[in-house]
Structure 1
C-alpha cells in the first residue's frame, strides 16, 4: 500500500475508534442508569414514603456531619437517584455541619450550597481544630454571614499547631471574629467552647497566651437569647477578680451554665463568673474551687439567680462554712450534686437534718464518691434522707456495702416511696 493509502486507512481506523469510544461511554451510562433503576426496584427505602425515608436518613447522621463524600449526608447523594432526590429535598439533613481547621480552600465554595440545602432551618455549626493559627477568613466570613440562623455553635480548640513551622502561631490569641463584626446571633441558644485537656503537651502554652476573657465573652455579647453555655477546659489568662457592676455582661435569658473538665486546671478558669450577671440561671455546674476561692458566693450575691440545679464537682476545698454561705443564697435549689469529701459531707448532712431553712426546696441529692464511707457517714446519710424525704443517688467506684441496719433503713424508706439509688461495682440498692 502506498503512503497515501496508509494515511487514509489510519484515518478510517481513528474514526471507527472514536465512534466505538462514544458508543462505549453511552453503554456505560446506560449501565449505570440500569443499576440505579434496579436499586430503586430492589431498595426497600425507595418504596417508602419520602417522609419515612428522610427520617431514616436523618438517623444516620452524626450530631455535626462532616462535609465529605464519605460522610452522610453527602454520601447519600452517591447511592442512587432516589436517595439523592430524598436527601436534597430534606433540609433537616443539612442543618448541621462540622468544619475542621485547617480546612481546604474549596470549602468556601461548598458552604453556600450546604446552607442553601438547609433552606430556612436553624443551623448548628461545630468549628474544630486549630482555631487560632489555622483560621480561614473566607470560610469564617461565610459562617458569620449566616450568623442570624445559628442555633447551636460549638468551638472546639482540640488541636494546637505549635512545633516546627507552626511555632509562629503560638502568640495568636483565640479570636474567632478577627476584625469582623457579625450581625447578632438572634437564634443562638447554645454555645460551647472547648479547649485542650489539661494533660495535653501544649496546654501550658495555651494557658499563657491563648484565651482572654474578652475573646470568650464576645460571642456571648452577640447572643441576646442564649439559653445554655458550656466551657470545657478553657484556661483563661489571669485578670482582675473584681468586676464592676456596669462592666458585667448581663445575659437575661441564660438558664444553664456548665464548667467541665476543670479538675486539674488552675482555679482562674471559673473567674469568668465574675464577668457575668445571670439573673435567670437555673442550672449551674462548677468545680468546688469556685466555692473555696469565694467566686461562687460573689456571683450568687450579684446575680441572685433562681437556681434549681447545682453541681459542685471535685473535692477541692475543706471549708464547709463557705459552702454553707453559698447554699444559703439559693433557697430555690431542687437538685444538688456533689463529690464526696468526708469533712464537708458530714457537716452538710447534719445541717440538712437539723435545719429546714437550708435548701428548703431540695428534692434530689446526688453524691459521687471513689473512697470508702464510714459507718458514721452512712448513718448520717440515712438520717438526712429520712428527715428531708429526698431522692438519693450515690455513685462511685468499689467500696464496701453499708452496715446492715443502714441497708434495712434504706429498704424501709424505699417502701415508703422514697427514691434511693445506691450503686457501686459490688452492690446495689434501689
Structure 2
C-alpha cells in the first residue's frame, strides 16, 4: 500500500473515532440532563417547602427578598427560579415576589416587561438607576396605574432638568417618591424639577429628596401646589430647599425633615408655609441657624401643638437655655404632647446643664426619650 493511501486510511479511522467520541459525548450530555432532572424531582419530593401549603411556601419566599430591589441571579427572587422545578413554580405563582423592580441601563425592554407581568397587577415599587432609553420609559408608562413607589437614583447630571420625570407622564397612583444622587456628591437642580415631579403625583403620601442642592430657576411656577395626602417630606440639602416650601401647601403633613441650618424669622418661607398649610405635624427635624430669631423659633414651635418628636441641629448655644426654660414654665401650652427630644451639635455649659435638668424634671412624666449630642463639655 502506497504511503498516501496509508495516510488517508489512518485519517478516515481517526475521523470515525472522533465521530464516535462526539456521539458518546452527546449521549453523556443527555444522560447528565436526565440525571439532573431526576435529582430535581427527588429533591422536590424531599423538599419540605414543596410539601407545605402554597400560601406558606409563598410567604417563606417573600421573606427571602433583600431589603432593596435587585436583579442579581444569586439573590431572591431570581435565585428561587434555579433551585428546582417546584421552587420555580412557587416563585412564578407568587406575584408579591416581583413587585419591586430595579431598572438600569443594562435592562432590556423584554426583561422589565417580563418582571412586571409576573406581578400580575399588584402595586409596583420601581427603582430607576441611570439613563433610560425610550423603550424602557415606554415600559414604565404602561404600569403607571400600578406604580406605588418610585425612586430615581441620579447619576451625574442626568436629571438636571424635569424632562426625564415628566416623560413618564402622570402618576396618579404614586404614593412614595424618592429622588437621590448615587454619586455621593450634591447635585444642583432647579426648583422646577422638584415641583414638576410633585405635580405628576397628586396622591403622594411620602416624598424624600437626598443629596440634591436646589436653586430657584426661571421655570419655577408662581402658583401654589396643594398635595392633600402628603404626610412625610424630607430634605437633606442646603437651605434653598425652603424656597420649595414657598410653592407648597401640605395640609396633611405629619413629618418634616429640614436638617440643614434654617434661618427662622417671622417672615421666613418656613413660617409662611406653616401658616398656609396648618399641618398636623407630629415629627420635626430642623437645623437652627445662628442668624435666626429665637422668638420666631418659639412662635414656630407654638404653631405645632401636636408635635411629639423634635430633633434640633443647634449651631448657636445662647438660645437653647431659653428653649428649655419655656419647656419648663409652659408645660400645658408649649409642645404639650412632646415625647421625644434630640439635640445635636451643642456645646454644653454648666449653666445650660442646670436649665436642661429642670426642664427634664418638669417633663419627666411626659418625655419618653431625650438625647443630647454635644461638641464639648465643660
Common fold: TM-score over 0.5: yes
Q: In the superposition, relative to structure 1, how do residues 75 and 360 fare at CA in structure 2: closer, same or farther (>3 Å)?
A: closer
Q: 1:343 aligns with which of 285, 299, 318?
A: 318
Q: In the superposition, relative to structure 1, how do residues 328 and 215 fare at CA in structure 2: closer, same or farther (>3 Å)?
A: same
Q: What residue is the counterpart of 2:251 in the other structure?
A: 279
Q: What residue is the counterpart of 1:418 in the other structure?
A: none
Q: 1:76 aligns with which of 77, 80, 96?
A: 80
> Is 2:259–2:313's contact at 8 Å kept on the other side of the alignment?
no
> Is 2:66–2:75's contact at 8 Å kept on the other side of the alignment?
no
Q: Which moved more, 1:298-307 or 1:213-222?
A: 213-222
Q: What residue is the counterpart of 2:303 in the other structure?
A: 329
Query: Does 2:27 correspond to 1:52?
Result: no
Q: Which runs of 5+ in 1 are unaligned?
A: 161-168, 403-430
Q: What residue is the counterpart of 2:279 in the other structure?
A: 305
Q: 1:185 aligns with which of 167, 171, 179?
A: 171
Q: In the superposition, relative to structure 1, how do residues 322 and 192 fare at CA in structure 2: closer, same or farther (>3 Å)?
A: same
Q: What residue is the counterpart of 1:90 in the other structure?
A: 94
Q: What residue is the counterpart of 2:114 in the other structure?
A: 113
Deviation at 1:400, TM superposition (A): 9.2
Q: In the superposition, relative to structure 1, how do residues 290 and 397 fare at CA in structure 2: closer, same or farther (>3 Å)?
A: closer
Deviation at 1:31, TM superposition (A): 1.4
Q: 2:216 aligns with which of 235, 238, 258?
A: 238
Q: Which moved more, 1:86-95 or 1:71-80?
A: 71-80
Map 1:114-263; keep pairs closer than 5 Å: 114-128=115-129, 130=130, 134-157=131-154, 159-160=155-156, 173=161, 175-177=163-165, 180=167, 182=169, 184-195=170-181, 200=185, 203=186, 206-207=187-188, 211-239=189-217, 244=222, 247-260=223-236, 262=237
Q: How many residues align?
A: 369
Q: Which runs of 5+ in 2 are unaligned?
A: none
SS in 1 for 2:173: coil
Distance 1:49 1:171 in 2: 46
> Is 2:174–2:204's contact at 8 Å kept on the other side of the alignment?
yes
Distance 1:94 1:288 in 2: 37
Deviation at 1:109, TM superposition (A): 1.1
- Give a deviation string over 1:296-354, Cα, whole Å, max 9, x none: 10111221212222221466545312212212322332332223453222111112222
- Give a deviation string over 1:374-410, Cα, whole Å, max 9, x none: 33223322332333443153335578999xxxxxxxx
> Is 1:291–1:326's contact at 8 Å kept on the other side of the alignment?
no
Deviation at 1:67, TM superposition (A): 2.1
Deviation at 1:18, TM superposition (A): 6.0
SS in 2 for 1:173: coil
Distance 2:252 2:159 in 1: 37
Distance 2:146 2:298 in 1: 43
Higher strand proportion (structure 1 or 2) = 2
